[in-house]
Amino acid sequence: AATIKWWQQAVVYQVYPRSFQDTNHDGIGDLKGITAHLDYLKQLGIDVIWLNPIYRSPNDDNGYDISDYQQIAADFGTMADFDELLQAAHDRGLKIIMDLVVNHTSDEHPWFKRSRQDRTNQYRDFYFWRSGNGKKAPNNWDAAFGGSAWQYDEQTQQYYLHTFSTKQPDLNWENPTLRESVYTMMTWWLNKGVDGFRMDVINQISKLPGLPDGPLKPHSQFGDARVTNGPRVHEFLQEMNQEVLSQFDIMTVGETHGVTPADALKYAGADQHELDMVFEFQHLRLDNSQHGLGKWSTRKTPLVALKKVISDWQVGLEGRAWNSLFWNNHDTPRAVSRFGDDRPAYRVRSAKMLATCLHLLQGTPYIYQGEELGMTDAHFTELASYRDIESLSAYRDLVTERQLLSPADMMARLAARSRDNSRTPMQWDTEVNAGFSDAAPWLTVNPNYRQINAAAALADPDSVWYYYQHLIQLRHQYPSVTLGSFELLWADDPQVFLYARQWEGRTWLVCCNFTAETLSRPLDQYLTPTAKCLISNYGEQQPNKLRPYEAWVYQLA
């Protein structure tokens, strides 16, 4: 039998600490709040918790701007709180992986404060400092949160590079001292006992030599900052692996925008000695704008294209690398609102359908907090409800400054795509603010918490929650789920996602109706009377029929 690594059989649960549970009445989730819910997570059956950044930060980008890698943000508690959380998790057999954000720091990090003081200090080269062309920035790159990727700094009369906000200067990985400092910091956390890292935009750490202009973006004076998959990225990751990662029994997953399955074989190939997995985003870009506005669109994902992307990843990595499986995270809309149907009549059914579709694939599934409740998008109607830097800067850019979109149009696009959709507080019960906090929460609680909350889910055997618990049990019980090969059937069907998994002569068939319609399909060619149902969201299958958002898994005889 193939040797299975522990993280190949694991299910990961992503906790966004700011929105999980407040325990000290400031409206902000904290570490003690996570510790308080470990039994809830254990009962769900997950194996690993991924924590979004909890380090000291001025919070320009909710903790992705770190001013001290070895201190806990005061909002979240203390290092003693962290140690207690880690111990309590380990006591329950749960692992914890940390977010590692080393493409950039905060401009308030001591490295950057020193770096900006003069042109010759020993930290100068930890970042990218360049003189402009006259009054123009060193190149035409755009920043992810709007405007130029270069910020002029009066003190030394040069520009620094920031591919995200001006408060997130990019680190220069060409500098060996910087790399060693990062490795030392990583080793410090691993020695503490953390079980791995999710690595933020890790495929951006090697910039193109000479930092050349990128192709002009549609409707923009800026060019595409071509910073992904640079020439030295694999060398850096192999060095990191050799010096740090390979010394510990951990799991690593790289956040890698703009990668194909072929790229993933380099980052996470079984014998590459880099990372264990990557997050790919091809399946989350299929509903992007067709008019050059990137993610700011209200389109729906076409199912045929979605199936093709997923199939390409399943087949492309089979036996050579390992997939990460996810519908949503803290940067995306909620799965049920985006790919399912969050209307009351269909929410539960479609949330279970999406869970079936994802959890039966080969790879490691990631559940984003609240997904197990079928939590929905925020559906904000006021700009003032939004907190996310990306949403606010996109509105300023597209509506206020360039007037490419009307306010109403942009509000519809924010409602469909804002990162705040998934960041609203966790809905625990029907108490004030959904039991998240008794103070005003940092981001408005979704008013649907009166119907959608953990207490209600735990009291209802038919809830989305128990369905996730069942899916996790299936994965832990049957090697078919972890190891079976994947084959897409009915590739051109625009409404049904049908695939087979094969393991040691056994075939499992996974069928998902992605629509609110009742469909007829020739399923009896597969489902003989002896086929055995392993899980479904309606009960027994009806011959050659699929009800709205019906999903099932059968073992064929």
Binding site for Ca ion (CB under 5 A): 22, 24, 26, 28, 30
Query: Would you say 62 or 158 has its CB closer to ligand ISL?
Result: 62
Instruction: Select from 290, 224, 212, 298 the least CA-distant residue to 257.
Output: 224
Looking at 30, 47, 61, 200, which residue is catalytic? 200
Which partner, ligand ISL, Ca ion, none, binds residue 349 by CB below 5 to 8 Å per kind? none
Instruction: Give the residue nearest to ligand ISL (CB).
Output: 64
Instruction: Select from 276, 238, 269 the least CA-distant residue to 12.
Output: 276
Query: Would you say 257 or 338 has its CB closer to ligand ISL?
Result: 257
Which of 22, 47, 61, 81 is close enough to bind ligand ISL by CB under 6 A? 61
Query: Does 162 engage in binding with ligand ISL (CB under 6 A)?
Result: no
Query: Would you say 30 or 60 has its CB closer to ligand ISL?
Result: 60
Query: Does 397 engage in binding with ligand ISL (CB under 6 A)?
Result: no
Which partner, ligand ISL, Ca ion, none, binds residue 164 by CB below 5 to 8 Å per kind? ligand ISL
Three-state secondary structure call for residue 250: coil
Write b or e for each residue in 465-494: b if 16 or more Cβ atoms lie within 10 A of its Cβ, otherwise e: bbbbbbbbebbeebebbbbbebebbbeeee
> Any catalytic annotation for residue 255?
yes
Query: Does 390 engage in binding with ligand ISL (CB under 6 A)?
Result: yes
Q: Are 155 and 379 in contact (CB under 8 A)?
A: no
Check residue 2 and report its DSSP letter: P
Query: Would you say 390 or 550 has its CB closer to ligand ISL?
Result: 390
Three-state secondary structure call for residue 294: coil
Residue 545 CB, nearest approach to ligand ISL (Å): 38
Residue 71 CB, nearest approach to Ca ion (Å): 17
Looking at 99, 255, 263, 388, which residue is catalytic? 255
d(CA 47, CA 56): 27
Residue 30 CB, nearest approach to Ca ion (Å): 4
Residue 508: phi, psi to the nearest 5? -110, 140
Which partner, Ca ion, ligand ISL, none, binds residue 419 by CB below 5 to 8 Å per kind? ligand ISL
Which of 11, 12, 86, 101 is close enough to bind ligand ISL by CB under 6 A? 101
Which of 186, 199, 201, 278 is close enough to bind ligand ISL by CB under 6 A? 201
Instruction: Select from 394, 400, 396, 397 the least CA-distant residue to 414.
Output: 394
- The site for ligand ISL, by CB under 6 A, has a size of 14
E-strand ranges in 472-520 read 485-489, 496-503, 506-513, 519-520
Q: Are 409 and 417 in contact (CB under 8 A)?
A: no
Residue 122 CB, nearest approach to ligand ISL (Å): 25
> Any catalytic annotation for residue 249?
no
Q: Are 137 and 75 in contact (CB under 8 A)?
A: no
Sheet holding 12-15, edge to edge: 277-279, 251-255, 196-199, 95-100, 48-51, 12-15, 364-368, 324-325
C-alpha pair distances (Å), 503 with each of 1, 481, 525, 528: 11, 9, 20, 19
Which partner, Ca ion, ligand ISL, none, binds residue 239 by CB below 5 to 8 Å per kind? none
Q: Please give the residue ranges that form the binding site for ligand ISL (CB under 6 A).
A: 61, 64, 101, 144, 164, 200-201, 255, 257, 295, 330-331, 390, 419
Catalytic residues: 200, 255
